[in-house]
Amino acid sequence: MSKSATYLTFCKIINRKTFYSTVKYQLELGNRASLCTIGSSKNINKLKTVMNLESRLEKLKADNLFRTRVTRTSKVGRYVSIEGKQMLNFNSNDYLGLASHPAVILAAQDAASKFGFGSTGSPLMSGYTSMHQELEYAMADFLSYPKVVLFSAGYLANLGVAQALLKRKDWFIQDRLNHASLIDAAQITGAELKRYPHLNNQKAETIIQADVNRFKLWATEGIFSMDGDSHDLFSAALSAHTYNAMLWVDDCHGIGVLGERGRGVLDTMTLSEAEIPILSGTFGKAFGTSGAYVAGSHDLIETLIQDARTYKYNTALPIPVVAATLKALEIIQTEPWRREKILELIHLYKTGCEQYGLAEQAKFSDSAIQPIMLKTESAALEKSAYLKQCGIITTAIRPPTVAKNQCRLRITLNSELEREDIEALIQCLIGNY
């Protein structure tokens, strides 16, 4: 894109009419010399005033909502190095410790040597290799779904599914606490977004039965990313079936981690494609790699391949990532002890919290996500800073990720942690450091 065209697009995005029309006028005149004035200090100041970035950032800081990235300088595992200091890892989504697993790393290295690194294009151009195909087949087999398609990220998968399936007059029914990618997906479809209170199947059912003839896509997370809890998906599936809605479960935090075979809510609630026609997830969590998948019927998946713009117009996953994911999937299937270890740690954590008077603050779940509720932004920030001093890393979760007064520490358990680490965490949580 030429420089002037880029400016035009930029001006459209910020949608400041006067500024935009000036630039458009200059472009229409074909007066290249006058375009130079865009870069003048007067115009830069004007742009600064229009966008107001400085005061936006200041406000975030004043409201305790400013995000600071912590710089990791090591592999992830039981410990991570943060800014040069070794800390106990209660922070990552690498629930099964596969991100740094030697066999996963080796698989990526071997694939890079044999196939190269980048996939070189969208899956519909040059980016689809026999390895991508092998992973799709292996995932379909693992989940017992007819067909699977890979995306480059869970975020993109969610946008792609919604955009490919929904039209303007359709309804997109969602749990109020669904992940941002599902909420954002609603925006790009133009379908009507209808949200119901968290986990409230009855309210959801009231919505879907209001118009039986309309196409309704009902999306929920399997294990909720910030709360670790889950719907009664069997009754959700029953309502969806009765009132003609299509149920879509994004089980990013369940698949790999929960269930006898590691198939997340499919295993823990004994469900299958019959109840959940669309199942999606990411490789960025329990698999320890990156990318995502959507599972469904042949027709559904073929529709996504044909119509999902985030599939068609996005470079396919790098080959080493695909190879690493295949290895991670093998470990998920053959090493159930990792899931058993997490269950043991969950049990220890809960009994420890109860013993030390933390049960009220702790919002217990049956998953690896165990929030400690702290209400305010400052309380969450202070607690996570205190834990950092204790040598424990967690994240303070604040709006807009969660609602106001729902700030929390998002504690995650992983199979690399040991029993004594849970004890250390609880001692720090009660201020005993």
Ligand X SMILES: Cc1ncc(COP(=O)(O)O)c(C=O)c1O
Q: Provide the binding-site residues for ligand X, judged by CB under 6 A.
A: 153-155, 158, 179, 181, 221, 225, 250, 252, 282, 284, 292
Residue (204 or 348) nearer to ligand X, CB = 204
316, 308 Cβ separation under 8 angstroms: no
Smallest CA-to-CA distance from 159 within 180, 175, 177 is with 180
Residue 92 to residue 181: CA distance in whole angstroms: 19
> At its nearest, how many Å lie between ligand X and the CB of residue 85?
26
Residue 87 to residue 425: CA distance in whole angstroms: 11
| CA distances from residue 341 to 278, 288, 411 in whole angstroms, order as listed | 29, 17, 16
Question: Residues with Cβ < 8 Å from 425, sequence gap 6 or more?
Answer: 88, 90, 349, 387, 392, 411
411, 92 Cβ separation under 8 angstroms: no
244, 209 Cβ separation under 8 angstroms: no
Active site residue 253: yes
Residue (97 or 154) nearer to ligand X, CB = 154
Residue number, nearest CB to ligand X: 154
Per-residue tokens: 38: 């865009």
User: Which of these is catalytic: 179, 216, 327, 383?
Assistant: 179
User: Which of these is catalytic: 250, 275, 416, 421?
Assistant: 250
Residue (258 or 428) nearer to ligand X, CB = 258
Active site residue 285: yes
108, 320 Cβ separation under 8 angstroms: yes
163, 306 Cβ separation under 8 angstroms: no
User: Which of these is catalytic: 101, 253, 341, 383?
Assistant: 253
User: Which of these is catalytic: 94, 136, 170, 221?
Assistant: 221
135, 150 Cβ separation under 8 angstroms: yes
Active site residue 244: no
> At its nearest, how many Å lie between ligand X and the CB of residue 363?
17
Active site residue 250: yes
> At its nearest, how many Å lie between ligand X and the CB of residue 329?
16
Active site residue 347: no
> At its nearest, how many Å lie between ligand X and the CB of residue 86?
26
Residue 61 to residue 59: CA distance in whole angstroms: 5
Residue (158 or 314) nearer to ligand X, CB = 158
Residue (26 or 91) nearer to ligand X, CB = 91
Residue 342 to residue 259: CA distance in whole angstroms: 11
> At its nearest, how many Å lie between ligand X and the CB of residue 155?
4
> At its nearest, how many Å lie between ligand X and the CB of residue 375?
23
Residue (38 or 411) nearer to ligand X, CB = 411
Catalytic amino acids? 93, 179, 221, 225, 250, 253, 285
